[in-house]
């Protein structure tokens, strides 16, 4: 079965996948003389600069009925 397609973020360092609107992603501001850059920081491994946008599928897990022994 197929599930819903969602847009999210993945940390290429630790593999954390989260929805784009996940409030736990932190920001780091890098300011230079000519520009300012905002980096996302992974809340699990604290790396920045390794966050990518992805599209992923959410699949609901269906449990198989248990067979009873006779």
pTM of the model: 0.63
Domain of 13 in residue numbering reads as 4-58
26 within domain boundaries: yes
Residue 34: predicted pLDDT: 86
Predicted confidence band at 33 (pLDDT cuts at 50, 70, 90)? Answer: confident
Secondary structure element (H or E) that encloses residue 28, with its range: strand 26-31
The confidence band for 28, taking pLDDT boundaries of 50, 70 and 90, is: confident
Q: Assess if residue 68 is contained within a domain.
A: no
Based on the structure, what is the number of domains in the chain? 1
Pair of tokens at residue 49? 């600069």
pLDDT-above-70 percentage for the chain: 86
Q: Has residue 63 been placed in a domain?
A: no
C-alpha 67/C-alpha 58 separation (Å) is 28
Please answer whether residues 12 and 51 qualify as being in contact, where contact means their C-beta atoms are separated by less than 8 angstroms.
Answer: yes
**What is the pLDDT averaged over residues 11-16?**
92
Report the C-alpha gap between 7 and 66 in whole angstroms: 35
């Amino acid at each position: 079965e197929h599930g819903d397609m969602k847009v999210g973020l993945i940390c290429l360092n630790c593999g954390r996948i989260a929805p784009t609107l996940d409030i736990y992603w932190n920001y780091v501001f890098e300011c230079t003389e000519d520009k300012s850059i905002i980096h996302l920081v992974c809340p699990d491994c604290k790396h920045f600069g390794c966050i990518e946008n992805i599209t992923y599928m959410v699949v609901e897990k269906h449990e198989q009925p248990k067979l009873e022994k006779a």
